[in-house]
Structure 1
Amino acid sequence: MIGRLAHIGVDLVLISGVLAGIKRSTGVTPNLDLIENKDIRYYSSKYLNFGESFLDSTGAFLGSSQFFTRK
């Protein structure tokens, strides 16, 4: 059970990171105004913001690694 929850958690983080990367590279982002429920809209916004911070921290970590170089 814990393994399944961990797998779902990792999948959610990766999806959020991919959506943040799409937003950064193309400017396209989900239209959260279409969500009528304000609580779901709020948590969706938090989820997408988490993807942004995940993308930033991953970039900083990989940028400080000796195995990656910036161009």
Structure 2
Amino acid sequence: MFSQLVHIGFDLAVVAALLAGIRRTTGLTVRLNDNPSQGNVSLVRKYLDFGERTLDFIVGFMTMFPKYFVRQSG
């Protein structure tokens, strides 16, 4: 049971980071209606913000290993 929760949590983090990467490279993002009657909007916004932070962490981690990862110009 615990391992399944960890697996699902990891999958959710990967999907959030993927959505953040898509937003950064293409400008496409999830459309959110800012209707106050919908409580799920703030939850989705927090999830997408978590994806941004996750992507920033992954990129920062990768820059610690210049032997394996380089930035391409152009």
Give TM-score scaled by structure 1 length. 0.89
The number of aligned residues is: 70
- Which residue identity does 2:68 align to in structure 1? F
By percentage of residues, which structure has more helix? Answer: 1
Aligned to 1:61: 61
2:4 corresponds to which residue?
Answer: 4
Aligned-pair identity in percent equals 39
* Gapped regions of structure 2 (runs ≥ 5): none
Q: Which runs of 5+ in 1 are unaligned?
A: none
Q: Bigger radius of gyration, 1 or 2?
A: 2
Q: TM-score, normalised by structure 2?
A: 0.86
**CA displacement at 1:70 relative to structure 2:** 2.0
State the distance in 1 between where 2:56 and 2:62 align: 10
Distance in 2 (CA, whole Å) between partners of 1:18 and 1:5 is 20
Determine the C-alpha separation between the residues in 2 that align with 1:7 and 1:44.
Answer: 20
Aligned to 1:47: 47
Report runs of 4+ in structure 1 exceeding 6 Å deviation: none
